[in-house]
Amino acid sequence: MGFYLVENGGIWGMGDKKVKKIYDNLSKIYDQQRVKDYFQNTLKTVLKYIQKSKSKILDIGCGTGMYAVELSNMGYNVIGTDFSEDMIKKAKINAKKNKSKANFFVHDAEKQLPKQISKVKFDLILFNSSWEFLPNPTSALKILKNNLKDKGIILIITPNPLVSPAIILAEKLKIKKLSPAFYFFNSFKFRTKKFAKKAELKLVSYKYRYKFLDVEAVIKR
């Protein structure tokens, strides 16, 4: 995932056709833009929260499937979803090329999971650079809670909202439509906690990672 786009005062979020088109086009060069050091560091963060060798993982906003493919080849049962059809097409190509058993589906995170996986219970549900795209995070959490095992976790890796003073100012002034402020709004601790509480879940951990550029948040039942 990347950034929110603002046009004529309106927010484009996950599921918006214009954003979808942008990410369909971005799928062609998405893999080349990934920073190797960041990828390895983020992978280590995810692995910290995987308790069992046969863990089932749901990667929300998986893009071209880099993390899903890698985790699958480590022996985990991984399913990746993304709202961009072209991202999913590329993810399937990457899986085949890397002989991965990861499965991929087109899916809007604020809607019910595809029928093929609607009843699967996951040990880990991952939002890696996709949480900030949700116009209504509580809606996504309420849906995904039904697919979370009793001792499962929801791991959020999202941009650190404190890296920009302008964003802090926008937060204080409640200017939700000021670009790029809205991109980070979901990432503030008190907002993440509120979204979780409304979904009858709990924010149990919130800390900074990767040179303070990201936030690492954990939600449980």
Contact criterion met (CB below 8 Å) for 93 and 85: no
Q: Tens digit of pLDDT for each residue in 54-79?
A: 899 999 999 999 999 999 999 999 99
Question: Measured between alpha carbons, how far is 139 from 103 in angstroms, rounded to an integer?
Answer: 24
Q: Tens digit of pLDDT for each residue in 76-129?
A: 999 999 999 999 999 999 999 999 999 999 999 999 999 999 999 999 999 998
Higher pLDDT, 144 or 37: 144
Higher pLDDT, 50 or 167: 50
Q: Which two tokens stand for residue 93?
A: 């190509």
Omega within 30 of 0 (cis) for the link into 180: yes
Cβ partners under 8 Å of residue 173, min gap 6: none
**% the chain with pLDDT above 90:** 60
Enclosing domain of residue 137:
5-220
pLDDT value at residue 2: 34
Global model pTM greater than 0.75: yes
3-state secondary structure of 186: coil
Longest dimension (CA), the chain: 50
Q: Tens digit of pLDDT for each residue in 181-199?
A: 455 678 889 999 999 999 9
Angle between helices 36-48 and 66-73 (to 10 degrees): 50
Contact criterion met (CB below 8 Å) for 99 and 72: no
Sign of the CA dihedral running 151, 69, 59, 193: positive
Residue 8 confidence class, pLDDT cut points 50, 70, 90: very low
Question: Measured between alpha carbons, how far is 23 from 29 in angstroms, rounded to an integer?
Answer: 10
Ranges of H-type helices in the chain? 17-26, 30-33, 36-48, 66-73, 85-97, 137-145, 165-173, 181-185, 189-198
Q: How many domains does the chain have?
A: 1
- Closest by Cα among 116, 52, 44, 37 to 80: 116
Contact criterion met (CB below 8 Å) for 102 and 85: no
CATH of the domain at 116: 3.40.50.150
